[in-house]
Structure 1
Amino acid sequence: MQEENILEKREKLLLEAFDDKAFIKEVKNIRLELEEELMRFILFLKENLTSEQKIFENIESRIKSIQSFREKIYRKDYIKNWNVSDDIRENQKLIVENLPDFIGFRITCFFWQDEEKIYNLLKLYYEQKNLNDIVLNFDENRKQKNGHTINKLSGKYKQKYCFEIQIKSVMHNMWGEVEHKTIYKNRNYDATISNKKLITEEIFNILQASDKQLLCIFKEKYEEKQLLQALFYEKTKNIIGKKCKTDILAQHYNSYFSLFSSSADMDLVRQFVAFSLLEKDFCRKEVDLDDINSAIYELKEMIKAEFLEFNLKCLFYISEIVLKIDEYDSFLTYLSKYLFDQSGYDLEDEEEFEGEDVFDEDILEEQVDYKENILVLLDQKIGGRKSD
């Protein structure tokens, strides 16, 4: 009973010291100073990592919560081993000098394999004496209870304030948080804990494999345009497959991207993909089909006559994903007008032909040539011309 009373008194004194407003303000200022020092290391990292080794430029940081502090002083026997006094300032000094992870920092990278690289660069940066008033310990054990390596180290600032630095990839961090809370910080008895450990270990292996696959994809250095096209295909292929009654769609998507390749077209694709990823409804773009002159109408009829309807309809089905065109004939009108715009031929020039002697061979030849040139362009983009 006497020992319990002593421990309760020690706990009360430590918690009062920990929760003191002036002390909290002091620690927050120290945290900001340390963060400023470590941000200089982030700049060093950006200069020394390759383009394939990515980090998040903001450092995560935290001060240990009072609940976590209370649990740790018992779990680590600090409550018995620390020389707790009745002086609040002495107890605050005791906490900052002896609680290893009192202040915590995390440097986050994209990929698992880069953790060790960053750890070694931090060691180099430290050995070059670039950190002011900071002592780091690179000799401590990095093996966790689960058998995995964690790239972390402890330090001391101004010979007084203890802190810890962790270097983790996104997936490692996510897995670690789940494992820590469900396995090692689970407050309730769990008869299935052994099974949970096996499951979390399997998830660890899956995430590591996924991390490697993501790295392989990242190293291929896809351009933004290629990524957008791939995502657009993934988000629409089921719809288009049902309408086209085939799942062999690569040729038709290639035709679509080859033909509708302007910056305005890609902006539409980008918007559609963004809305799809956010699971929001996309508002299709209105198209202007007013003031269609005879040249557009004639080109449309030529396209209908000379190109396979199946190919054109597949192009229509893909286009209506982003354009407010719900009829095939309207799409052909839009396509004809689009081709005129892309060809650079001025439709106003066409009006000059109207009223001229239609038997003038030079005029007839010029009219036929520019339309044939547009048809050749369309064939190069989408194929499927019947005369081929």
Structure 2
Amino acid sequence: MTLKMFEFIDDVINELESREIELENIAIDIKEVFRDIIGEDREGFLDVKARVKSSESLKEKILRNSYYKRFDNPSELLSNLSDLIGVRVECRFNEDEDKVYKIIKKQFRERTDEGLHYNRNYPQIILDLRERQPQKQKNGFVIYRIDGFFIKDDEKIPFELQIKSLVNLFWSEIEHKIVYKNYNYLVVDKFLKDIMASIKKNLSLMDNELLLIYNHINNKSKDNMWNQREEIEVLLSKIIYDVFADKVESSLGFAVDFRKSCDQVAKYILRSSEKDNTMDYNTILINLLERLNEIRENEVEFNSEITFERKLHFEDKFSKKVSQIIVSNMNNDFQWNLFFRIMFEIELGNNAEDFEKFIGFLKLELLDWKGSKKIDDILGEELAIQVKEEIMYKIANVFEIVESIEFIHNNNINAIVDKIQECIEFVTNEFLEMPVEQWQLKKDKVLNKFELTLLSYFSVAIPIEKANDIIEKIGENDEKISMAKNLINYYGKEVIDSKELVKIINK
């Protein structure tokens, strides 16, 4: 049975292709308008180009951004796809980008009731000029990027307008093909970014880039001697990605980035193998490589549901809740589905047993913090177990809200462990005298504060009603509680960013 997400994607692509001629004509109309507005003889201006988003690119974007969760039907998705049509104004130099932007801004002076801009001679084209330009991108560089709409028969057809100089055009093509659209596993990702940034600053200094590469490789071998476990985990993660990336691309028709998931799969498989037998890491790796070679030769189905051979069994509250959340998403979220499909393919055995082992591994990962045994001596074994279980259940609550597979990626697991450590240190330092009584008295405040800390790490938006409840539970005194509540309710918003809530509470 085909996963619903792929059925949705097929419906979206069919909708896009059925409107291909219409959208191509609109792209041409938009292109001609901007050529006319800017003026083809304008100094520094070169050309305007436009394109309709391709089916392959749209498929990849839907999966990458989980659009199948956000939109109910194909028409709604396409109506909200900001770059359904891409329009690019090309100019000669970097300083010409600002000149072209100012020309466009000057020409689009009229305003709609929503505060958007249009030109009287071309009322069918609406631009959103409210944002400051240029905008800062995730890679740290800036870009002139403007959202727009083309009005046709009362329908708003979205397009994205970019203004780029020749240098930035050349740079974006490199970044797009080598970095953004290339998910081949790169152990030296940070180094690649450093190199690309250097190229952006000065495209002509190629020998300097080669020198940076040479120095970086030498420094890697001398200064970063990882232990055997970490080396093998990195290597295995790369191999897993290479084996499955080809199969995923062959099955779906486009590349998908799931490198961080491979990191966690590799870590789980190696460390669970280490506990299950007495073989050294080299022998374990050889056995795993043999299994991966078998998988490489076999077909793997990526659009069918994952099932379990029997009912899953867990004893603690954390494991029960986390497993229920993952299972509910396993066949509804592409990244979760892919993660466990890879793990179940590599691990020989039944899916139910492998899944239970993984949840146990995840729990142990979160409990792997410095001083985890020391807490037993300070609080007593019985209270220490209770404190750990309560903290773990709060983590499960946050996981239910975040829901993303990114929650279990190594960098986030490490961050959560650090925050557990901070919470435990507070408890052991504050509750030295009469720890049982102190914990019963203050545990709600401690646990709610810990939960808010995790929510803020993941930048979760919190409903105002819940935010008021959190303030009530963790506020230090009536005056501060009242002040914090007044601050979050002042603007009349329905939600508040958890990081902002932390700042308000700590004032």
- Compute the TM-score of the two structures, normalised by the length of structure 1: 0.46
Task: Give 1 or 2 for the bigger CA radius of gyration.
Answer: 1
- The two structures have a TM-score, normalised by structure 2, of 0.36
Which fold has the larger relative contact order, with Cα–Cα distance below 8 Å and residues 6 or more apart in sequence? 1
